[in-house]
Amino acid sequence: MALLEIVQVGDPVLRQRARPLELAELATDRIKKLVDDMRDTMRAAPGVGLAAPQIGQSLQLVVIEDPPAYHAKMTPEELAAREREAVPFHVLVNPVLTVRTTDVVAAFEGCLSFNGFSMIVPRARKVRVEAYDENGERVVKVATGWYARILQHEVDHLNGIVCCDRMESRTLTTTANFSKHWSQKGISEVREAVALPES
Ligand code: ZN
């Protein structure tokens, strides 16, 4: 097991459009090891998704996993409000994402490349992703809620887009201040509290 260094915002690799993988590359030791190392790195962080640019490789490769253990401190109501359900480990290669609804959901999210920060990011509630898995098999994922958010976040990374490009900028907070001031508040309450004061 090898843990990879996760690059932080400001690294140019996070602003590049990642190169698609040739399916023949998936069988190489280099890519197999990269997938294993990305999985281990994501779990150690811990995070629910990791895109190859985040470990300095400009490749269209993503790993995702949202295991039940990560939900242990959340109430059933919180999980339901986020439409968050367990997602088993999987790999997406060369994903193509399409938005499947006009519904937009705003929620606080973080990023392993924005270590120590959270921000409200509006995302489509439902998306469809066509991709290949690590074996070169075609996969289609149709996702709603939190999983749809993860997919949009990770596919954004492959296009040089990071969460601050889509955030409601006045909601940016350190993780510590998120816990202290915002975690128990609804989104509209947060928006109201941080709104630009009338001059
Ligand atoms: Zn991220």
C-alpha pair distances (Å), 34 with each of 28, 60, 63: 10, 12, 10
> How does pLDDT run across 142-177, given as a tens digit for each residue?
999 999 999 999 999 999 999 999 999 999 999 999
pLDDT tier, 1 (very low <50, low <70, confident <90, very high otherwise): confident
pLDDT above 70 covers a percentage of the chain that reads 100
Alpha-carbon Rg for the chain, nearest whole angstrom, is 17
Q: Please identify which residue in the block is written with the tokens 């040739």.
A: 22
Report the 10 Å Cβ neighbour count for 36.
14
pLDDT tens digits, 39-95: 999 999 999 999 999 999 999 999 999 999 999 999 999 899 999 999 999 999 999
The model's pLDDT over 87-134, given as tens digits with 9 standing for 90+, comes to 999 999 999 999 999 999 999 999 999 999 999 999 999 999 999 999
**Domains along the sequence of the chain with CATH:** 12-194 (3.90.45.10)
Q: How far is the CA of 14 from the centre of ligand 1 (A)?
A: 9
| Distance of CA 12 from the midpoint of ligand 1 (Å) | 14
Q: Specify the 3-state DSSP secondary structure of 111.
A: coil
The three-point CA angle 100-151-186 to 5° equals 85
User: Residue 76's pLDDT is what?
Assistant: 94
Q: Which of 109, 134, 154, 198 is catalytic?
A: 154
Q: Report the distance separating Cα 87 and Cα 142, nearest Å.
A: 12
Measured in Å, residue 21 CA sits from the centre of ligand 1 at: 20
CA distance between the termini of the chain: 55
| CA-closest candidate to residue 5, choices 27, 30, 32, 38 | 38
* Separation of CA 162 and ligand 1 centre (Å): 6
Looking at the chain, the whole-number percentage of residues with pLDDT higher than 90 is 96
Cα–Cα dist 117/173, whole Å: 6
Would you state the pLDDT for residue 103?
98
pLDDT of residue 198: 86
Global pTM exceeds 0.95: yes
Distance CA 163, CA 51 (A): 13
Is 134 one of the catalytic residues?
Answer: no
Q: How far is the CA of 83 from the centre of ligand 1 (A)?
A: 20
Arithmetic mean of pLDDT over the chain: 97
Query: Which residues hold their Cβ within 5 A of ligand 1, which is an ion?
Result: 111
What residues contact residue 63 under an 8 Å CB cut-off, 6+ apart? 35, 38, 39, 42, 49, 50, 89, 90, 91, 92
